[in-house]
Chains A and B, each alone.
Chain A
């Protein structure tokens, strides 16, 4: 099935001066799909800020790079990639999610980096009924992410999960991956000048019929009736093979460094061999000639279009000078024995770089594809109508008088607030031995990615669908703010962002309008906070069978740098008698909060003020620099009181029994900011902060005079997800 539209088919035929061949049809189908071409998003994404002193490489290649710091005179960069695997995960949750991890890990690897971390923002439907399809999806996705990440040995250090009815028929599975690379050893996703005659080497699993039509499938609305039909479009994961492939590639990186040989390396993702080899050569200003008969295949007799654009997992493409080919093949095929690890897996030279900018595919002696590279890979653009302003909020209602005793335990047990441990304990968060803050320990995960160095990197994700339901643009801005606050709260300096924009159908003006407004909002927030976007991904056509879009979901990840991991803010309250400071908004509004949902009222959305935000960040960072910040958490789902309860829980996990006593108007509002535990004699300038209470030497939480038993609260908070993830 080809999903090109009539006008696109016409354009192809006109340019070629003939009808396209079957192979060409499928090649254009993949290349011009939304998934590959970003045809309805690219022109808006151009407005995002992508440069700055920390940017080593902005968007455009397999992944972006941010300067982390210097160790032993060498400059290190963090490689950042962010992707979605939403549609495949809805159809076959385990495989869909696992291949999502596999794909993003390859994007990082292909920059010449060691892969050091993954994070997974997840959005599932309501799972109250454990036998429902959405519960099956929620379990399968988590198992798939765990099975893949655990086996390849990459720690899962951050992520979030929400359960909303709007995702019942279309879950979101986003994955962020980080790598570490010496900046002088970066390998690019395009061939350099002088690459004419270089060899194109395919490495990885034997090409099979799985994943045929994947890019095109990801660019359609999921129709439940076609679910069975579409299973073939989902790739098959093989983390065991990937483990070996990664390690073999690390060995190749070392040899390239030793020999000072230049090369290009690119992941085979959407569009398969054609998509990858056309881009890696065309973006360097060259063409390519590929012989499909040289491709190692898993089954004989596959049609050429399947070999050419099928999306079999665990494959990558090297472009190297001819004299490096023998050593490259030796490492993959003999030293790491790929053919012994998976059937007919290997590295094989399949073609070469040509001076003419033509992309040519040969098969059984004939030419099955011959197009201008630029025409295939160049940018295409859809002009579609959209609605300007999207806001689904209602007039704010008065909040009823707060019955804290009754409502706070319900907030803690809410599906968006309760402990995520039953889910994330299925992920290895500490493999590689460089984890500083593992998954769930704090607001962000932290690693020391350069062995022997004090440099640290923090990673956090955000994107609140309760805001997304109301206002796509507002939700996008809040996602930037929350992700950034999270890395600040662990003691890191935010240096860059990456996003995955999960939205509805761009052919529906309102859904498209939501996307456009969200991109604008992301740009606004990033500019105000002086943070660049270095990579990202767009996933459109996320809608249910009744045509309603998912809650608008601009999911943002923030990367923070740490000069010395000794300065990382460790979890939980440290001592009784500390001052508790609130650094953030004092607006007592409940719009989009868990509290408002539980009370069944509409509230005003907290306002966004960048001046105040910058001031709050400066205060927190000053307290960390002075060494007076003992503990910190950001306020998100469940409000300030939830953040304080978690600081008590975190301390308890480490064996410290410390409670808190606070007074604050409505501590269940979710206007953003930081709860900080500060030494009583800190000497810090407290302008702009509000002392809301103190830590106490008892396992109690006393709030506006109401007492809570911590063990009871902990029980209430810990339990809910254990039913879904036993």
Chain B
């Protein structure tokens, strides 16, 4: 897990990865050379480099990202959450519709109100589970609980490019209501296509805006039931479990 100046969600992301069985550790920005030897990379949330220019824009050019870009090219798994997702878009790894790596879309300033929003959401899987290695163990139409917590999470791209995102099967997750229905009310940030997550063409790079790791243990759930083991992973952890299973196979 690379950590940049301004990252703020590394501890809980690491904890959940480990609870789901991953052998994970944090690599600090001052130790970039350590980055080479991992099977997969998880980019966690925060405000790397203060969100200067646009969220993720500076981090996308950090030397830590050179390793991530190389790993993505060699088919290793890359999973970006919130600020991590923004970096993957700014680095051009997702949606990755073209042959050449270049940024073609952005998670940018929320709309219609241009403010930070912290709201509980559901992400609905909008692709065949096997289309993306990281979601391969989810069931079809899986609904993953999570928290949206960002000021720049609205997918923006040209209409032509949005069509390519849909046609190429890059729209990995959309915002949904608790019952799985999809409508405007479910979208917290005005995101085009109701997009909550994007996957690259090869299916090894996933970028999601909401934080499943913040609704990932039974004690996080407001609707938990009596008798549930409060310390057990559940809810949002399914996506992490799926990620760890993909790593194992």
B97-111: CB near A (< 8 Å → 1, else 0) gives 000000000000000
- 18 A–B contacts from the bound complex (CB under 8 Å): A143-B115, A147-B116, A151-B8, A151-B50, A425-B119, A430-B147, A430-B211, A431-B45, A433-B16, A433-B217, A454-B231, A564-B230, A566-B219, A566-B230, A570-B222, A570-B223, A570-B224, A655-B178
CB distance from A150 to the nearest CB of B (A): 6
B230 touches A243 (CB 8 A): no
Stretch from A90-98, A335-343, A516-524 forming part of the interface with B? A335-343
Is the CB of B214 closer than 8 A to any CB of chain A? yes
A153 touches B5 (CB 8 A): no
Pair B47/A240 contact, Cβ less than 8 Å: yes
Is B15 interfacial (CB-CB < 8 Å)? yes
| Residues of chain A contacted by B15 (CB below 8 angstroms) | 433, 451
Known contacts A337-B30, A426-B118; is-contact A240 B5 (Cβ 8 Å): yes
Pick the contact of B214: A146, A341, A435 (CB < 8 A): A435
Question: Other than the known A146-B116, A153-B9, A654-B223, what 11 A-B pairs have Cβ atoms closer than 8 Å?
Answer: A152-B8, A153-B46, A425-B118, A426-B118, A430-B118, A430-B214, A433-B9, A433-B217, A437-B222, A441-B222, A571-B222
Residues of B within 8 A of A335 (CB): 28, 30
Interface-centre pick from B9, B46, B219, B224 (highest chain A CB count, 10 A): B219
A438–B215 alpha-carbon span in the complex (Å) = 11
A627 at the interface (CB under 8 A from B): yes
Chain A 544-561 interface mask (CB, 8 Å, partner B; 1/0)? 000000000000000000
A151's nearest neighbour on chain B, judged by CB, is B47
Which residues of A are found within 8 Å of B213, using beta-carbon distances?
433
A566 and chain B: residue at smallest CB distance: B230
* Contact (Cβ within 8 A) A432 B11: yes
Q: Is A334's beta carbon under 8 Å from chain B?
A: yes
A334 touching B113, Cβ below 8 Å: no
CA distance A433 to B7 in the complex (A): 14
Q: How many residues of A contact B (CB 8 A)?
A: 49
- In the complex, the 7 A-B pairs of residues with the closest C-beta atoms, listed nearest first: A153-B8, A433-B12, A240-B50, A430-B214, A566-B230, A430-B147, A726-B113
Partner of A431, one of B8, B28, B49: B8
> Which A residue's beta carbon lies closest to that of B188?
A425
Residues in chain A near residue B222, CB distance under 8 A: 437, 441, 570-571, 654
**Contact A243:B116 (CB < 8 A) given known A433-B15, A566-B230, A570-B223:** no
**Alpha-carbon separation in the docked complex, A429 to B117 (Å):** 10
Which of A341, A426, A654, A655 is the one whose CB lies under 8 Å from B115?
A426
Q: Output the least CB separation between A514 and chain B (Å).
A: 37
Q: Is the CB of B116 within 8 A of A426?
A: yes
Residues of A within 8 A of B219 (CB): 436, 448, 565-566, 568
Quote the shortest CB–CB distance from A651 to chain B (angstroms).
10
Restricting to B1-41, which residues have a CB under 8 Å from any CB of A? 5-9, 11-13, 15-16, 28-30
Which residues of B pack against A, CB within 8 Å? 5-9, 11-13, 15-16, 28-30, 45-47, 49-50, 113, 115-119, 147, 149, 178-179, 211, 213-217, 219-220, 222-224, 226, 228, 230-231
How many A-B pairs fall under 8 Å by CB?
115
Q: Mark A415-447, 1 if CB is under 8 A from B, else 0.
A: 000000000111111111111111101000000
Contacts of B6 in A (CB 8 A): 151, 240, 243-244
Give, as a whole number of angstroms, the nearest-CB distance from A446 to chain B. 9
- A426-B116, A427-B118, A448-B219 known; A433 and B214 CB under 8 Å? yes
Q: Which residues of A contact B12 (CB under 8 A)?
A: 431-434
Task: Give, as a whole number of angstroms, the nearest-CB distance from B63 to chain A.
Answer: 13
Bound-complex Cα distance A243 to B10 (A): 12
A612 to B45 Cα, complex, angstroms? 48
Mark out the residues of chain A between 565 and 585 whose CB falls within 8 Å of any chain B CB in the assembled complex.
565-566, 568, 570-571
Contacts of A17 in B (CB 8 A): none
**Chain B contacts for A431, CB-based, 8 A:** 8-9, 12, 45, 149, 214
| Residue A452 at the chain B interface, CB threshold 8 Å | yes
Please give me the residue from chain B that is nearest to A335 by CB atom. B30
Q: CA separation between A309 and B25, bound complex, in Å?
A: 42
Could you say which residues of chain A place their CB within 8 Å of the CB of B47?
Answer: 150-151, 239-240, 243
| Interface residues in A31-82 (C-beta closer than 8 Å to B) | none
Are the C-beta atoms of B16 and A627 separated by less than 8 Å?
A: no
B240–chain A nearest beta-carbon distance, Å: 11
Contacts of A143 in B (CB 8 A): 115
Q: Type the 1/0 row for A139-169, where 1 means its CB is closer than 8 Å to any CB of B.
A: 0000100110011110000000000000000
Residue with the greatest number of chain A CB neighbours at <10 A, chosen from B11, B178, B211 = B11
In whole angstroms, what is the CA distance A319 to B97 when docked? Answer: 56
Q: CB-nearest residue of chain A relative to B214?
A: A430
Is the pair A436, B117 in contact by a Cβ cutoff of 8 Å?
no
Most buried by B among A143, A425, A441, A454: A425
The listed residue (A435, A566, A654) touching B220 by CB distance below 8 A is A435
Could you give, for residues 496-525 of chain A, a 1 whenever the CB lies within 8 Å of some chain B CB and a 0 otherwise? 000000000000000000000000000000
Q: Is the CB of A428 within 8 A of B149?
A: yes
In the assembled complex, the Cα of A726 lies from the Cα of B110 at a distance in Å of 12
Knowing A244-B6, A433-B220, say if A627 contacts B226 (CB, 8 Å): yes
A331 shortest CB reach to chain B, Å: 10
State the CA gap A677–B115 with chains docked (Å): 37
Neighbouring B residues of A239 by C-beta, 8 Å: 47
CB distance from B15 to the nearest CB of A (A): 6
Report the Cα distance A662→B187, complex, angstroms: 37
Residues on A with beta carbons closer than 8 Å to the beta carbon of B179? 655
Which A residue's beta carbon lies closest to that of B151? A150
Interface residues of A in 342-392 (CB under 8 A from B): none
Q: Which residue of B has the minimal Cβ distance to A448?
A: B219
Are the CB atoms of B149 and A452 closer together than 8 Å?
Answer: no
Inter-chain CA distance A235–B241, complex, in Å, is 45
With a cutoff of 8 Å between Cβ atoms, the chain A residues found around residue B226 in the complex are 566, 627
Docked pose: A76 CA to B226 CA in angstroms: 26
- Provide the residues of chain A in CB contact with B217, threshold 8 Å: 433
| Cβ contacts under 8 Å, B223 to chain A | 570, 654-655
Find chain A residues with CB under 8 A from B7 CB: 243
CA distance A432 to B13 in the complex (A): 9
A425 to B121, CA, bound (A): 13
**Alpha-carbon gap, A568 to B218, bound state (A):** 12
Q: A145 to nearest B CB, angstroms?
A: 11
A436: B residues at CB distance < 8 A: 219-220
Q: Which residues in A have their C-beta under 8 angstroms from that of B220?
A: 430, 433, 435-436
Q: Whole-angstrom distance between the alpha carbons of A627 and B226 in the complex?
A: 9
Which residues of chain A have C-beta atoms less than 8 A from B50's C-beta? 151, 240
User: A341 — which chain B residues lie within 8 A by C-beta?
Assistant: 5
Q: How far is the CA of A428 from the CA of B153 in the complex (A)?
A: 14
Interface string of A430-474 (1 = CB under 8 A from B): 111111111101000000100110100000000000000000000
Q: Which residue of A lies closest to B213 (CB)?
A: A433
**Distance in Å from the Cβ of B105 to the closest Cβ of chain A?**
24
Cα-based distance from A279 to B179 in the complex (angstroms): 58
Q: Is the pair A425, B214 in contact by a Cβ cutoff of 8 Å?
A: no
Interface contact A452-B231, CB-CB below 8 Å: yes
Chain B residues closer than 8 Å to A439, beta-carbon distance: 118
CB distance from A343 to the nearest CB of B (A): 13
Choice from A151, A152, A334 contacting B30 with Cβ under 8 Å? A334
CB distance from B128 to the nearest CB of A (A): 28
Docked complex Cα distance between A235 and B215 (Å):
36
Kindly identify, within residues 193 to 226 of chain A, every residue whose CB is under 8 Å from any CB belonging to chain B: none
**Binary B-proximity of A377-415 (CB < 8 A = 1, otherwise 0):** 000000000000000000000000000000000000000
Q: Which chain B residue lies CB-closest to A447? A: B219
Asked if B30 contacts A426 (CB within 8 A), the reply is no
Instruction: Please give the distance in Å from B153's CB to the nearest CB on chain A.
Output: 13
For A627, the closest partner residue in chain B by CB is B226
How far, in angstroms, from A568 to B29 measured CA to CA in the complex? 39
Q: Whole-angstrom distance between the alpha carbons of A335 and B226 in the complex?
A: 45
Residues of B within 8 A of A454 (CB): 230-231
The distance in angstroms between the C-alpha atoms of A433 and B240, with both chains bound, is 14
Shortest Cβ distance from A341 into B: residue = B5
Complex CA–CA separation, A152 to B8 (angstroms): 6
